[in-house]
Amino acid sequence: MAVNETPKRHTKPKPKPVLPIEAAITAWASNLQAESAAALGEVSAAELAAQAPKRWTVYEPMVLLPSGSFASPAWTSLKSTLSNSQLEDLWSRILSKISRKSGTSFTHLAVNEGIPLHLRDQDDGGTAEEDRENILRSPSGLQVLYGDFGACDLRLSGEEVAEADFEAAFWVTTKQNGIHQTWAPRWTMFSRGNIKEKSRVLSFHEPTEPELQHRSVSSSALRNQWAVDMYAGIGYFVFSYAKLGMRVLCWELNPWSVEGLRRGAISNGWSVRVIRGAELASDVDLSDIVAGDARIVVFQEDNAMALRRIQQARKKLVEQQVDLDATERSRKLDVLHVNCGFLPSSELCWADAMEIAKDCPRAWLHLHENVGVADIEKRRLDIKETLTSMVPCGGPPGPCASVDVEHAELVKTYAPGVWHCVFDAYSCTS
């Protein structure tokens, strides 16, 4: 060894941290084998841990595992040999380990699955093609592992749900962009990936690009404007508009989504009025509702009714010759945004959206579409042509509305080579 040479020190590599689910499986398998050496069959605890999910999502107080969790051949075979109590022991250990890591107590565990295109009625024994279309986007494929998620009768997914059913259901919450959202995971989907678009809505009127400076609207001016959401869900974009200070009219068919929206609005401190059931069957006077102080008004009905209700309200306001100053423009139903958030395409409501917006000094339509990445620009131009054809110019009763699809926002990938896009269409009168 050279005189000044420092001997090399051989340090041991740091052990790989054990993930909570792996730790839970290892402890559970050890306990199971203590009861019966053959309990695991030919598979080892290490193999089971390796085939377990490595990640999860928290929606308090629920832990949601990714689709396909515990569905490998080894796990499927083993689960078929286990008793309910042995499985419950596994799920409770997983919850305990994740709770300890997070510093929060979680009580429910489930596996996420895709939203099925059809719902199979429990007693008809028919094929999926014979069953009813899942137009409410009910997450009937959710795999409940641990905890009471409430009744699972598909009849509760209909248009009318009793208040007692809402109270008996299991509800979860999350917070995105400082906004609380609430939903019943057995009955309502939650699209976590929409957070980017929600954030964009919140900053929409603070443009940084020079060519979009016409979007600039002060906070005080926004308080006198309305947004309309044609597919409200649990309040995905409704709440972003409400946080901007705007008032929101929205339509939603799913009673569970409406109830989630109502609960979420209250959690955020916003006044909300729900129009459903017998009240819908009566002659609802939207002009009186507009004159009220509810920040959010949601109709539990088909959005095909939106245009007629808004037109009737506007007509009545004109007939009443309501004399309002600029700070009371919201009572005139001056709509600044119309959100059309439905996939794979929201095109069915574009004509009504244009009718709602065209008599306003200016308005933006946010049109959600699934589009192939190579076709986005072509689709933008096609949409502009389609919308322009919906507002023929010339003649009474008012000025011509011009339309430009000024931006295509790529929200998230929907499938390989396919993007969930939002096309911002700008309508203004001249």
- Residue 127 has what pLDDT? 46
Residues 182 and 110: their CA atoms lie apart, in Å, by 17
Could you list the beta-strand ranges (E) of 132-245.
132-133, 143-146, 172-176, 179-183, 226-229
- Residue 129 has what pLDDT? 44
Residues 198 and 192: their CA atoms lie apart, in Å, by 10
Nearest 5 degrees, angle CA 405-CA 408-CA 409? 145
Residues 400 and 220: their CA atoms lie apart, in Å, by 28
Phi-psi group of 41: left, alpha or beta (phi > 0 → left; psi -120 to 50 → alpha; rest → beta) = left
Taking alpha carbons only, the member of 108, 157, 114 closest to residue 132 is 157
Residues 247 and 227: their CA atoms lie apart, in Å, by 6
136, 255, 281, 305 from 277: Cα distances, Å = 17, 10, 7, 15
- pTM here is 0.85
Query: What is the 3-class SS of 12-27, one letter each residue?
Result: CCCCCCCCHHHHHHHH
Strand, coil or helix: 102 = helix
Question: What is the torsional sign of CA 166, 167, 171, 174?
Answer: positive
Q: How far apart are the first and last CA of the chain?
A: 89
- Using 50 as the pLDDT threshold, list the residues of the chain that sit under it: 1, 116, 118-119, 122-130, 134, 326-329, 394-398
- Residue 41 has what pLDDT? 82
Helices (H) and strands (E) in the chain, counts: 14, 16
Residue 80 near residue 72, CB atoms below 8 Å = no
Which helix (H) or strand (E) element contains residue 410?
A: strand 401-415
H-only helix segments in 19-140: 20-35, 45-50, 73-79, 84-102
